[in-house]
Amino acid sequence: MKNDSKETGLRLLKKGKQGIFRMIFSRSGLILVLLAVQVLFLFSIFHWFEAFLPHIYGGVVIFTVFMVLYLLNSPMNPTVKITWLVVIMLLPVFGALLFLYTQENVGHRVLQRHYARLNEETEKFLKQDPETEKKLKQLDPGAAALTHYVQRSGCYPVYEKTSVTYFPLGEDKFKEMLIQLEKAEHFIFLEYFIVDEGEMWGQILEILARKAKEGVEVRMLYDGTCELSTLPHDYPKRIRKLGIKCKMFAPIKPFVSTHYNYRDHRKILVIDGRVAFNGGVNLADEYINTYEKYGHWKDTAVMLQGEAVLSFTRMFLHMWSLDEKEMDFDRFLNVPITPQAENGFVLPYGDCPLDRDKVGEQVYIDMLNRAQKYVHIMTPYLILDGEMENALKYAAERGVDVKIMLPGIPDKYIPFALALTHYRSLMESGVEIYEYTPGFVHAKVFVCDGREAVVGTINLDYRSLYHHFECATYMWGTDCIPQIEEDFELTQEKCRKVTVDMIRTEPFKRRVLGFVAKTVAPLL
């Protein structure tokens, strides 16, 4: 329900049509209509072509066999491979052409080259301290090997001298965000997947506008899918009138492209290069529970102060510079850093869908494989490929206490049904599954053996692990890790444990939908 308190903060939109009506009567509605027309046109072409299949049946069979052999020998994930095999076997012509179209990566080849160039140009600013690397290797060779992999894949160093503050709820993060934003003197960078006008964004925007007038450089980047749900297409122009530089990542345009599958799912706030926020919390009122959308919203975040902030600054500049001809990195990556006298090691990292490294998944699997006592997980979605499912099961079968916490009130029915398809197999191996009865779990947390943890934006689903730009914070031996584990245990007390009997009593609709959707889950 809505908060009864008086509205605070800055608003740029008038209250009007909401939900589906706002979408229909906006530019987004036109875009969706044009996209639908294109899809229908393509289907018509394929349908017309299939009418000739009886005359060219032999050619279709040869073509299908070739595609099957090609898929079997391709380097893609086995689960994704099986999905494409099913599609091509059922729809030989349409399925093969669709596969070839997606593999061509229409719309993002230029983006891929530009991102790689940005990576090369900025890696000189993030040098790994050999002493830090050596120290971690002495303490935990396995963790050191993991950080070496992350550094190799994206040039993200592991740091000491960084304090980490853990926020068990979005409202806790929000309070500290306001405090830190008021301290900004030089620059503020925001990169978020979802932005929606309300109390949270209104208060933040009010500070941003004031800071921009004071001479602070403020840059805001949000994902283009917002114009289909929360913000109008011209919202960046409205923001720029306040003196704030603003962009949409990959605005939705009325033509079909695989480029739109790659969304900016990151949540990053960097202030002056001295403090950074990361986690699952977007800029909308449901994330701070002033608006009840799916019951109580359970989310988490971390605040970094010290050397590791530099990596988040770099991540933001990468995304901001993707459509820029001239880039100024020195100004923001050569800022003075105040070391923090804190324990442990911190490694912020990003995951990019434009390369072959599935960093987010590999970090999770590595922690599962090295765990000796427990791995406790919070995730809103559970849509697993074979590698992740095997890692979870193997850890449990080794005697590791593996617990997964999921929403009790889902935000999307199909992912909810897909999660159910994994329950029985995981539970048979000893994995315990819990559902948060008060509402929706949006947190993305891994905590392992009381010594290491990950808090970030990376869900346990195909979209996060394969298709989105993501980021997270890996921690080893930091002072906040016991707090993360304590938060998991306290939240678990508000959950129901899933049993075999509960699975049997699930609605028939959910079980059937999950069974059907699982065949094409990697394509969703």
Q: Are 258 and 107 in contact (CB under 8 A)?
A: yes
d(CA 432, CA 449): 16
The overall average pLDDT reported for the chain is 88
Per-residue pLDDT at 26 = 45
Written as six digits, the tokens of 373 are: 């006592």
* 217, β-bridge pairs: 187
Report H helices in 91-169.
Answer: 92-103, 109-122, 130-139, 141-154
d(CA 346, CA 309): 10
Per-residue pLDDT at 112 = 79
Region 275-292 average pLDDT: 97
DSSP 39-54: HHHHHHHHHHHHTTGG
- Residue 256 burial (CB count, 10 A): 16
DSSP 8-class letter at 281: -
Per-residue pLDDT at 396 = 98
d(CA 334, CA 38): 47
On the CB side of 176, CA atoms within 13 Å amount to 22
d(CA 406, CA 496): 10
pLDDT tens for 460-476 read: 999 999 989 999 999 99
d(CA 300, CA 280): 6
Q: Which residues are CB-neighbours of 452 under 8 A, at least 6 positions away?
A: 143, 367, 474, 475, 476, 477, 481
d(CA 378, CA 436): 10
d(CA 358, CA 355): 8
Domains observed in the chain: 19-103 (no CATH), 109-343 (3.30.870.10), 359-523 (3.30.870.10)
DSSP 8-class letter at 466: I
Q: Are 432 and 403 in contact (CB under 8 A)?
A: yes
pTM over 0.85: yes
Backbone φ, ψ for residue 269 (5° rounding): -130, 125
Region 281-292 average pLDDT: 97
CA gyration radius, the chain:
23
Region 133-137 average pLDDT: 97
The CA-atom distances, in angstroms, between 351 and each of 286, 418, 464, 474 are 26, 24, 9, 13
Written as six digits, the tokens of 484 are: 């993360």
pLDDT tens for 327-360 read: 889 999 999 888 888 999 999 999 999 888 999 9
Per-residue pLDDT at 51 = 60
Could you tell me the pLDDT band of residue 454, with boundaries at 50, 70 and 90? very high
Could you tell me the pLDDT band of residue 116, with boundaries at 50, 70 and 90? confident
DSSP 431-448: -EEEEETTEEE---EEEE
Region 26-39 average pLDDT: 56
* 222, β-bridge pairs: 192, 248
Q: Are 293 and 411 in contact (CB under 8 A)?
A: yes
Per-residue pLDDT at 260 = 57
d(CA 213, CA 478): 38
Strands of the sheet containing 495-497, edge to edge, are 345-351, 470-476, 452-456, 445-448, 374-378, 401-407, 432-436, 495-497
